[in-house]
Amino acid sequence: MESNKLYEELLDLPLISITGVKIESNKIKISCESKLSSAYCPCCLKAQTKINQERKRVIRDLSISDKNVELELTSRQFICEECDRIFYEKFNFVSSYERMTIRYENFIYKRCIGVDLSYVSVQENLEWHRVNRIFKKWSTKSIEKADLLSNIRALGIDEIALKKGHKDFVCVLVNLETGEVVDILEDRTKSNLISYFKALGSDFCERIIVFSSDMCEGYINTAKELFPNADIVVDRFHFFAHLQKALDSCRKALRRQFPNAEELKKVKWLFLKNRVNLSTEQEKQLSELLANSDYVLLKETYEAKESFRAILEENITRNQADEKLTNWTIRILEKDNKYLNKFIKTFGNWYDYILNYFNGRWSNGMVEGINNRIKIACPESSGIKRRAFGFEDFSSFRNRILVEFI
């Protein structure tokens, strides 16, 4: 029939013959069978023609004109006359025992990327668990094919909390050269990290030339133990945050000392923001505050913060940075500022790793940006964590994140 030929062209399955088409209000049922007269025995690999029995397989395919398509496929069971084996014929467009064509599964998988699985489930009229199974199956294939860890040289590491209140931390590994998330680890302890990286092999460990993290001894000690060729870098934003904290502690102390001073109210971000990014009005407000003789300690702490930031922004070598930061430290110690003294102690503990930043200006800024995409900032957020909500196991959550960055 002409209509059957039309549907054969639409289906584009050359080895399948259509025997009937039934169109319903929201569905198209297509009866079909193989055009081949034989099938190859999986044991002896010889063509066989003797049929033992037939069964019908109902298989979902891509929609046509917004109607669901069901293939009622006749599947023949053959008897191998060579090895007496019984087997069903195989089709190149659908996997054994599956109820969807390969192309429809791939379509569902691609629809899942970037959206909630429940949305796809409703739109395609599929059970959520089937959508989840397809996503997990195809995302695993996609991640394996991408081979994210094969060429990484600069590794950034950080953690995020899966629950409010900083609970259930997971570890995020990022390729700092490409911006790809290369893996998510459920356990961020040093012992687990060492086991994980050792399993990747010595070639992987020797290939790492940069390792960037926050001020976490577990991360640093792992890198020292496993990555012999790596510059270990303490992320500039993490250690600079300690100086910001010192400045904010000074501001809070003045607020307690002068509770009625209106000019000290609602100025937290005025001090924490980089001075070069202040508006004209903000710059005027800041200058007036720092000119107040009662706030000398605040001025001193603020100027130390800005001078330190200026060194970080300079395009200088590690040796030049060493000289500048040493002189900065000497000047600060001479002031005997209790807020800055606390920072200097922390700064000194991590000094060598902080200096390594100037070798290539590597930082975890990219990792922080990625983490912000993953986190749920608010109930209305469309972050990856919110889209991953409801996954039954960690591996599915891991896959969700990784495929977003492939």
pLDDT (mean) for 115-122: 88
- What are 1's two structure tokens? 């029939």
Split into its structural domains, the chain has a count of 3
Mean pLDDT in residue range 218-235: 95
Burial class (CB in 10 A: 0-12, 13-18, 19+), 167: exposed
Q: How far apart are CA 371 and CA 355, in angstroms?
A: 25
| Burial classification of residue 110, based on how many CB atoms lie within 10 Å of its CB (0-12 exposed, 13-18 middle, 19 or more buried) | middle
220 sits in the region (left: phi over 0; alpha: psi -120 to 50; else beta) called: alpha
User: 130 in a domain, yes or no?
Assistant: no
CA distance 163 to 161: 5
Give the separation between CA 235 and CA 256, rounded to whole angstroms. Answer: 33
Average pLDDT for 194-220: 95
Structure tokens at 97: 């025992």
The backbone torsions φ and ψ at residue 59, rounded to the nearest 5 degrees and listed phi first, read -125, 130
Q: What is the pLDDT of residue 379?
A: 34
CB of 31 closer than 8 Å to CB of 19:
yes
Paired with 185 in beta bridges are 171
Asked whether residue 406 is domain-assigned, the answer is: no
Q: Which range is least confidently modeled, 83-97, 135-149, 342-356, 379-393?
A: 379-393
Q: Looking at residue 4, what is its pLDDT? A: 81
Per the structure, the complete domain to which residue 62 belongs is given by: 1-99
Contact 247, 271 (CB under 8 A): yes
Say what the pTM is. Answer: 0.79
Same domain for 215 and 269, yes or no, is: no
Specify the DSSP class assigned to residue 201.
-
Q: Which of 99, 126, 144 is a domain's end point?
A: 99
Kindly state whether residues 229 and 367 are assigned to the same domain.
yes
Same structural domain, 350 and 243: yes
CATH of the domain at 186: 3.30.420.10
Strand segments, DSSP code E, in 126-166 are 154-163
Q: Which of residues 358 and 386 earns the better pLDDT score? A: 358
Higher pLDDT among residues 382 and 238, named by residue: 238
Answer yes or no: do 269 and 297 share one domain.
yes
User: SS3 breakdown of the chain: % helix, strand, coil, rounded to 5?
Assistant: 50, 20, 30
Q: Are 210 and 241 within one domain?
A: no
Q: Do residues 50 and 35 lie in contact, with contact meaning Cβ atoms separated by under 8 Å? A: no
Q: In this model, does residue 342 exceed pLDDT 60?
A: yes
- Summarised one tens digit per residue, pLDDT across range 228-261 is 999 999 988 889 999 999 999 999 999 999 999 9
Q: Are residues 256 and 167 in the same domain?
A: no
| pLDDT bracket for residue 208 (50, 70, 90) | very high
Query: Is residue 195 in a domain?
Result: yes
Quick check: is 355 in a domain?
yes
Who wins on pLDDT, 116 or 300?
Answer: 300
Q: Has residue 265 been placed in a domain?
A: yes
Residue 44 vs residue 180, higher pLDDT: 44
231 and 243, same structural domain?
Answer: no
Tell me if 55 is assigned to some domain.
yes
Instruction: Say whether both 89 and 7 belong to one domain.
Output: yes
pLDDT of amino acid 346? 92
What is the identity of the amino acid at 298?
L
Residue 230 DSSP code: P
Q: With contact defined as beta carbons under 8 Å apart, do 164 and 185 qualify?
A: no
Q: State the number of CA atoms in the 13 A half-sphere of 283 facing the CB.
A: 7
Same domain as 368, residue 331 = no
Instruction: Clarify whether residues 207 and 291 are in a common domain.
Output: no
What's the confidence (pLDDT) of residue 385? Answer: 55
Q: Tens digits of per-residue pLDDT, 28-67?
A: 999 999 999 999 999 999 999 999 999 999 999 999 988 9
331 in a structural domain: yes
Tens digits of per-residue pLDDT, 55-100? 999 999 999 988 999 999 999 999 999 999 999 999 999 998 899 9
- What's the rounded Cα separation, in Å, for the pair 363 and 236? 6
DSSP state at residue 91: B
116 pLDDT higher than 80 = yes
User: What gap in Å lies between CA 354 and CA 220, rounded to an integer?
Assistant: 12
In a domain, 315, yes or no: yes
Q: Are residues 229 and 257 in the same domain?
A: no
Could you tell me what percent of the chain has a pLDDT over 70? Answer: 92
> Does residue 222 share a domain with residue 249?
no
